[in-house]
Amino acid sequence: MKNLIERLHIKYSLTDIVNQRDNFVYLTIRKENAIDLVTYLKDYEGFSHFVLLSCVDWIEDGKFQLSYFLNQPNKKFDIAIRTMIDRENAEMQSSHHLWKHIETYQRELREMYGINFPKNPRIEENFILEGWDEIPPMRREFDTKRYSEKTFFPREGRKTYDPATYMKDKLYPNAPITAKVNKKDE
Amino acid sequence: MEIDFNKILFAIIGLIIVLNWGLLMSSIMRKIGARVAGRHGIPWFQPWVDLVKNYAIRSQITHGVMFYLGPVFRLSGGVGLFLFMPMIFGSDLWINFSFKGDIILILYFQFFGMLGMALGAGEGGQPHSFIGISRGLSQFTAIEVPMTLAVISLAVQYQTLSISDIVEAQQGGFMNWTIITNPFASIAAMLSLLGAFGHSPFNLVKAPNEIPIGPPTEYHGTYLGVLRTNAAILHVVEAVLFMNLFFGGAGSWLELIVKSFLIYFWSVFVGMVFPRFRIEQSVVWFLKVPLILGIIAIILL
Amino acid sequence: MSNLFNWNPDRSKYPLMKEDGSLDVDLSSQKFTKLWVGPNHPGVTGNMAVEITVSGDEIVHAKTHVGYLHRGFEKLIERRLFIQGFPTCIRMCVAEPDYNEYLLSKSIEDLSGIEIPEMAEWLRTLVLEMARLQSLLRTVPGQGGTFSLGLGVQWGMYLRDLILDRFEELTGGRIYHMYILPGGVRGLLPDGFKERLEENLQLIDEFIIKIKKLMFDNAVFKKRAIGVGVIKKEWVDQFGIVGPNARSVGISRDIRKDYSYLKYQELDFEPPTATDGDIFARSTVRYRELIQTVDLIRQIMAKMPEKGDIKSPTPNVLHWKIPKGETYTRSESSRGEYGMYYVTDGSDKPRRINLRGPSYNHAMTLLEHMLVNANISDVHAIMVSLQTCPPEIER
Amino acid sequence: MTNDKLNKNQIEDVSKFFAPENKKKNVETPDGQIIEVNPLSDYFSEARPKVHEPNSSKVVETFLNWARAESLWVLGFGTGCGSIEIPPLLTPRFDAFRFGVQMRPTPRQSNVIIISGYLAVKTLKRVIRSYEQMQNPKYVLALGSCTINGGMYFDSYNTINRLDKYIPVDVYVAGCMPRPEALLAGFMKLKELIKAGKAENANKYVENFDEYKANQKKIIKDWNMPDYNW
């Protein structure tokens, strides 16, 4: 499989390659080439099983990371293709024509992150939320606790503790708060 | 025409007995079903409580005039069936308003309640109701064919259209029962009975997890109470009809209770171990097996 | 003569779709009825809805609606510590919660480089197989239940309760266990556990024989199940079908075999397959899987060491920081590939988790596709035979 | 209480959420006349619900309450993860049929609705519709901590925290998730309440109708149904 990765590297000028396990590779690629690479892997290299399309919000960098997980069932090999897109007016080329279920993943990302996939059918349809008028909830800047307190009548009497200080005060009043690994039997 | 108050009084008493026996019978059947599944089951008085509870619902809504009349038609179908059914053979008082040729009327009354229910449930506007209705009517038509053939076969065999006469002809030991003397007609009718009682494999009218309970989906409170009252009466009376036609009738209430219980148990027993047919499979099944048996019964006579 | 009773005319003109994929059905023409199967419907699996348009008894269009169970788990776990994620995470799929705990622990161990002791691996394997067993005891007779054969469901649920009792004994919880933690498991087997589990397995052996007579030898069941709800072989990759649904068309995909994890390479098993791809094939695959799971549990109990270390040392869970990284872990649940994408950013909370449930594809695109041309009576049966589980779709 | 019509503007505000068949439209009749059809007001009643007083005779009411308590028909609507404990309740181990508890598939015929766990906002809308279609007297049994104060979803953006702000609750069963025994105990408690004549929450809902509606409309943004679902 090293062979394949090298070929891909030359062909698509990958920006980063991370070997997670011996049968699992993360490839990072520019946004424009991502769908080309997915299509190439599907059509020529036998990556016929599409596992997952996911998104990570790197709010510090102002980027969304899209991850396409592909699986080659015969050689039992996985490739995850990562690509960064802008958070502002997030938009990505749709890949619903490759596998039927990508349509659903893209609908979810549209609703949860506000990423647009033009040409994806039913992209405007409600998927999970109904009548949602806030910012998309899975974005990092959306504060779910504040929204919940504002909307859902929190019952009085709930006390919340910071677990670290609470355990220190109640259970181990004399122990110092430091992270340390308990080495066993040494 | 002279009004016989005695007869009316005994018909009313008979109706009360039949209603309570019907409720008890359904309770016993559910208990048996629960025991097969390994459960304890409902308390024996549960059907009565359910009935009282349904009549005690405070608010009721309506969808129009036919919505009211649906359960009423259904109940009059059941009570009508009872009124023209001779219950106890050899008794002057418990034969209700049975007359020569009553078997034709009874075949009509079997269908009557169904039609009224169809109109009422259709007005409810619930899509599951009218899917259930269309299933029910098409299945019932398929049931009626072998049933009618069996009845015609009996009428030819005994040269009469009166239930009382048919019962009389079967007296004198079980070797004279129709099930022995005319087995093809009896089996055809017993198979169509499975459909009439609506247990699986032929419970697609109510089909609990396809179209949640079908026609009565919108019925509640008193409407449902009326429907349940009717179901209790109808089950007993239909069992009594089959008892009269094929199992030599009953000489006493005790005999009636035992025989109708066994006939009803037959359908519950089949329903316990068979899944449900689809509607087209069910209709085709009725048009194959019982119909052929019914035709054989006619030809052999 | 056989054509006389053939009531299934050619429906090749369905689905009535326009070029752009929208539905070409005029509801006001009175030829079509729109029906909602669910969410308040005794037939659907869990809290989801299928909006179907029917013409007579034939379905011309189907659309799955989910979101009735959305709790925003992925958001909630992003604002919790690694260890606080556990009680939240296991509630993502209520049918067999142990897979969630396993995946979360495995991801954390992957990212922070913790090796778990052998005894803990055996115990994890045992718990995951028991979870599969209790799930199969619900779904194998459940297929009969969709055809109103409620007797098998009653027997199966009783045996499932016995397995849940064993869970309770082992972990303290009946449905939610929180037994698997990062670094290992929470406890050893109690005294006499193996004997009691063996007693229950013997009851399940009897049940396996009874359910075969009740369901798979039943003429009406065969009539309803054979040839209905067929998955074609080429759909498997197209729709992302995994697990028993893929195995029922003869494509043997099993994470336990292909990407062996825990102790599965030491166990002797072969994932069952069938060829037809209809409801009957899927339920036979599940039935044989039930037999196999009982066998696997016996193998595990025989090969498992009696005692051993069950927990590797981990940092203080309240101040645990994991370096930046991401991982995808997977396991084979009773519905198919169950995976988790886990991203950390060097802080004490995960940056993102994403659960990949098999129902995500089965209940959405595949179900919508399969229901077209199906009979209205078979909606529920097809849904159960795909073993859809809504909480893992919307999380 | 009078049958005053509801404010029609409220309904029209949210018409963008309507399904195409529910929108206002002009229809041509067979004789060429053009009429306006507004399905929501034409096909659905907009009357307000009424309070139904208990029977004036104490003896009769006690008897009827006994019957209501012994025959609890539960709506088969699994709203959350607690619904996984409903099937064990109906099977050999726990067998709730012994206590007169039966499942009904339609809200019209049910008396009890079990809110089995957390309620997503989308489900809450369906629960309100189902609850309003049930007939007086009706009871609510709330299962799990998440119906009491949000439980472990106290900070979730999509699940409600307090059920009793939206529909009146008769019995809470705490726990996450409650065992079937706890659910049975909840049924016993509900029976006690009914027999004592204290379970009149259907009337309470009608009396505080406006308050409940305001709370419901606060979180259900696309209110595309009549105010009371008859």
Q: What is the structure's pLDDT at C1? A: 40
DSSP state string for D69-114: HH-EEEE----SGGGGGHHHHTSTTT-GGGGTEEEESSGGG-SEEE
**Chain B stretch 224-283, residues whose beta carbon is closer than 8 A to a beta carbon of chain D:** 224
Cβ-Cβ contacts under 8 Å for C122 (sequence gap 6 or more): C263, C300, C303, C304, C305
Class of domain C73-357: mainly alpha
- The number of domains in chain B is 1
For D221, the closest chain A residue by CA position comes to: A131
CATH number of the structural domain A2-170: 3.30.460.80
A36 vs A33: CA distance, rounded Å: 5
Q: How much is the average pLDDT of C332-360?
A: 87
Nearest to C356 among A52, A55, A130 (CB): A52
- Predicted local confidence at residue D15, as pLDDT: 57
pLDDT tens digit string along A108-163? Answer: 888 888 888 888 877 877 888 887 878 888 888 888 888 888 888 777 766 777 77
Kindly report the nearest CA distance between residue D127 and chain C, in angstroms: 9
pLDDT given at position D152:
83
Beta D101-104 vs D139-143: how paired, if at all?
A: unpaired
Domain that holds residue B73: 5-300
Instruction: Report the DSSP pairing between strands A49-58 and A63-72.
Output: antiparallel
Chains B and A touch (3+ CB pairs under 8 A): no
% of chain A with per-residue pLDDT over 90: 0
pLDDT at D111 over 50: yes
pLDDT classification of C294: cutoffs 50, 70, 90? very high
Task: Among B67-76, B228-237, D33-42, D192-201, name the one with the lowest average pLDDT.
Answer: D33-42
Among the listed ranges B33-42, B206-215, B264-273, which one has the minimum average pLDDT value? B206-215
State the Cα–Cα distance between residues C366 and A34, nearest whole angstrom: 26
Residue C7 has pLDDT above 60, yes or no: no
Q: Which of C28, C37, C47 to mutate to test the interface with D (most CBs of D within 10 A)?
A: C47
Contacts of D80 in chain C (CB under 8 A): 47, 69
Domain chopping of chain A, boundaries = 2-170
Q: Rounded to whole angstroms, how far apart are CA atoms B120 and B215?
A: 9
pLDDT in tens, C309-322: 888 888 888 888 88
**Residue A134 C-alpha, separation from nearest chain D C-alpha, in angstroms:** 10
SS3 state of residue A80: strand
pLDDT reading at A170 higher than 50: yes
Choice among A5-19, C278-292, D27-41 with the minimum mean pLDDT: D27-41
**How much of chain C, in percent, has pLDDT values that exceed 90?**
9
The whole-chain average pLDDT of chain C stands at 84
In this predicted structure, what is the pLDDT of residue C10? 47
Domain ranges within chain D, ordered by starting residue: 8-43, 58-219
pLDDT bracket for residue C323 (50, 70, 90): confident
Q: How many CB atoms lie within 10 A of CB C178?
A: 16
Would you say residue C164 has pLDDT above 60? Answer: yes
- Quick one: average pLDDT of D205-230? 82
pLDDT, tens digit, for every residue of B252-283? Answer: 888 888 888 888 888 888 888 888 888 878 88
* Average pLDDT of span D97-104: 88
DSSP SS3 for D68:
helix
Q: Is the pLDDT of residue C6 over 50?
A: no
Distance between D80 CA and the closest CA of chain C, angstroms: 7
Q: Say which residues have a Cβ less than 8 Å from residue B108's Cβ, sequence separation at least 6.
A: none
* Span A47-51, average pLDDT: 87
Q: Considering the domain D58-219, what is its CATH architecture?
A: 3-Layer(aba) Sandwich (3.40)
What's the pLDDT tens digit per position in B52-64? 989 888 888 877 7
DSSP state of B171: -
Taking residues D202-206, what's their average pLDDT?
Answer: 87
Higher per-residue confidence, D184 vs B250: D184
Instruction: Please write the tens of the pLDDT for every residue from C87-115.
Output: 888 888 888 888 888 998 988 888 888 88
- What's the rounded mean pLDDT across residues D165-171? 89
Q: What is the mean pLDDT of chain D?
A: 81
pLDDT for C25 beyond 50: yes
If you count DSSP H runs as helices and E runs as strands, how many of each does chain D have, helices first? 8, 7
Structure confidence by residue, pLDDT tens digits, C211-230: 888 888 888 888 888 888 88
Mean pLDDT for B46-75 is 86
Q: How far apart are CA C379 and CA C37, in angstroms?
A: 8
**CA dist., res. A5 & res. A79, Å (int):** 10
Q: Select the residue from C27, C32, C55, C147 to test the B interface by mutation, using most B Cβ atoms within 10 A.
A: C147
pLDDT (tens digit, 9 = 90+) per residue, B146-190? 888 888 888 888 888 888 888 888 887 777 787 778 888 888 888
In whole angstroms, what separates CA B93 from the centre of its chain? Answer: 23
- Chain A residues within 8 angstroms (CB to CB) of chain D: 128-134, 137, 142, 144-145, 147-148, 151-155, 157-158
| Model confidence at C13: pLDDT above 60 | no
Q: Over 60: is that where the pLDDT of D153 sits? A: yes
The band of D13, judged by pLDDT with boundaries at 50, 70 and 90, is low
Of A162-171, C51-60, D51-60, D178-187, give the lowest mean pLDDT range.
Answer: A162-171
Go through chain C and tell me how many residues it has. Answer: 395
DSSP state of C366: I
Instruction: Report which secondary-structure segment, H or E, holds C50.
Output: strand C49-55
Could you tell me how many CB contacts below 8 A there are between chain A and chain D?
Answer: 56
Gyration radius of chain D's alpha carbons: 20
pLDDT band at residue B48 under the 50/70/90 scheme: very high
- What pLDDT shows up at residue C35? 83
Q: Distance between CA C158 and CA C166 in Å, rounded? A: 13
Instruction: Confirm or reject contact between C256 and chain A (CB < 8 A).
Output: no
ipTM: 0.86
Give the pLDDT band of residue C23 (cuts 50, 70, 90): low
Domain boundaries, chain C: 1-68+358-395, 73-357
Q: Does D174 score more than 70 pLDDT?
A: yes
How far apart CA C197 and CA C201 sit, in angstroms, is: 6
C35 in reach of chain B (CB within 8 A): yes
Which of B75-79, B210-214, C146-150, C161-165 ranks highest by mean pLDDT?
A: C161-165
